[in-house]
């Protein structure tokens, strides 16, 4: 059984949060469009497959976040099949009633790996929040060698707090960054994706300025983090991840200004990490009250 450290249980499972990659169709850059199966580097998915435990491991693909779940699922079935995975189950969960189906619970009980596709992270939290199947996933993550992965929206939903929207260009206006509770596999960590490509560091900074105890991790496209022991991070992929650490913030006006005004912050620490670099999430060692 995982043993607590610093008051927090150490999960046996692993997380793979992937920054995603936009469709190559220049006329439509929305997530999940087109027949582009190369939206995640082969290196990252090979690593996912390498982490699977057991003979003929079962991979559960969950395309709930996508508005085109069948297409999104087909892409992953094809890619995983080409990487040698023979046992793949697609959980076509489109609402909370689907999430409660016993057959889906049985797949999660047997799965060696779970993959959340991209799309809209609010679909994941609204459909899975408080359900038996999500509780089962968390139980598997805590007590077994399962690997749980998500790309783009699927990655953003793995953590809490979860950024789901930013209205202003760059996110520098107070109130324009929307935050809610994610699926909570990682607590006190905010994950954002397409990070450098879409210039999301300022909106991440606003999220961290409102609660400096949290750590922000921005994932660039074609780049992922593999999280082991609940807080040990290894970078995988061709791009960079950005770590936004607000614990040393010396000054911010976020609590004095009104919505619609630009916020300021001083004393922020930022780390840029590339392939094979490692990082220890500092929240991991703090007391976790239940």
Please list the active-site residues.
152, 194, 221
Please tell me what DSSP assigns to residue 56. S
Calpha distance 104→67 (Å, rounded): 20
**Phi-psi region for residue 268, left (φ > 0), alpha (ψ -120 to 50) or beta?**
beta
Whole-Å CA distances, 65 to 68, 117, 261: 9, 6, 32
Whole-Å CA distances, 93 to 74, 112, 116, 119: 15, 19, 11, 14
In DSSP terms, 160 is beta-bridged to 187, 189
Identify which of 249, 248, 237 has the alpha carbon closest to the alpha carbon of residue 273.
237
Q: Which residue has the tokens 């082991």?
A: 228
**Kind of pairing, strands 223-228 and 14-18?**
antiparallel
Joined together, the tokens standing for residue 60 give 């559960």
Please tell me what DSSP assigns to residue 24. S
| C-alpha 163, offset from chain centre | 11
Calpha distance 194→197 (Å, rounded): 6
Task: Return the H-helix or E-strand segment holding 47.
Answer: helix 42-50
DSSP 3-state assignment of 233?
strand
DSSP 3-state assignment of 178?
strand
DSSP 3-state assignment of 141?
helix
Is residue 177 a contact partner of residue 166, using CB atoms and an 8 Å limit? yes
């Amino acid at each position: 059984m995982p043993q607590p450290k610093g008051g927090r249980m150490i999960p046996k499972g692993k997380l793979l949060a992937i920054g995603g990659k936009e469709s190559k169709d220049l006329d439509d850059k929305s997530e999940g469009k087109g027949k582009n199966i190369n939206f995640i580097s082969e290196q990252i998915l090979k690593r996912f497959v390498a982490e699977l435990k057991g003979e003929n491991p079962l991979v559960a693909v969950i395309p709930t976040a996508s508005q085109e779940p069948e297409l999104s699922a087909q892409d992953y079935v094809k890619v995983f099949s080409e990487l040698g995975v023979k046992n793949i189950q697609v959980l076509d969960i489109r609402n909370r009633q689907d999430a409660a189906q016993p057959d889906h619970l049985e797949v999660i009980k047997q799965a060696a790996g779970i993959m959340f596709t991209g799309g809209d992270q609010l679909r994941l939290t609204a459909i899975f929040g408080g359900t038996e199947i999500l509780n089962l996933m968390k139980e598997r993550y805590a007590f077994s060698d399962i690997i749980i992965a998500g790309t783009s929206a699927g990655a953003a939903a793995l953590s809490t707090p979860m950024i789901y929207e930013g209205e202003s260009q760059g996110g520098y206006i107070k109130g324009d960054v929307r935050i809610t509770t994610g699926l909570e596999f990682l607590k006190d960590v905010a994950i954002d994706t397409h990070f450098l490509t879409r210039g999301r560091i300022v909106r991440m900074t606003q999220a961290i300025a409102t609660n400096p105890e949290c750590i922000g991790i921005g994932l660039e496209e074609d780049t992922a983090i593999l999280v082991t022991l609940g807080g040990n991070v290894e970078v995988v992929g061709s791009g960079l991840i950005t770590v936004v650490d607000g614990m040393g913030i010396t000054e911010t006006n976020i609590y004095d200004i009104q919505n619609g005004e630009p916020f300021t912050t001083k004393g922020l620490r930022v780390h840029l990490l590339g392939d094979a670099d490692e990082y220890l999430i500092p929240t991991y060692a703090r007391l976790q009250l239940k």
